[in-house]
Amino acid sequence: MLTRSIIAALFLFGATASALSETVQAPADRARQWLVLVDDKNYAQSWSETAKAFQNRRTADTWASDATARRAPLGAVASRDLKSIDLSRGNAAVVRFDTVFAHKAAVVETITLVFENGSWSVTDYSVD
């Protein structure tokens, strides 16, 4: 009887762990998803999907102004390729993309994410 209970518990734990891994996006996937909002100039939603630290540093309006100032001169995204992922910072990830824009060919976008409340959230963004 004890063996059955242990096997049942392991089965349930395995199913739970599997379900969790399927619902939590990888940092690079989450970064890409968030960048699509920025690409589409959906700054209000991109701000609302950031980490609390990001939101505490700037209002939604300030973010929209900053993002417009950074991105408008570059033009539309032509391509975006994953350059690197740094997971060495505990519950943070730094994801870099080599991005080609219509008006600038060699750009590195850096998105820093933090794992909070069960998912990855953007805490910083830079485009160089």
pLDDT value at position 54? 97
- Please report the pLDDT score of residue 24 as a whole number: 67
Q: Where are the domains of the chain?
A: 25-127
Walking along the chain (128 residues) 10 residues at a time, the average pLDDT comes out as 34 37 78 98 97 97 97 96 94 97 96 95 96
Question: Where does 25-127 sit in CATH, by number?
Answer: 3.10.450.100
* pTM of the full structure: 0.80
The count of other CB atoms within 10 Å of the CB of residue 5 is: 9
**Greatest alpha-carbon span in the chain:** 69
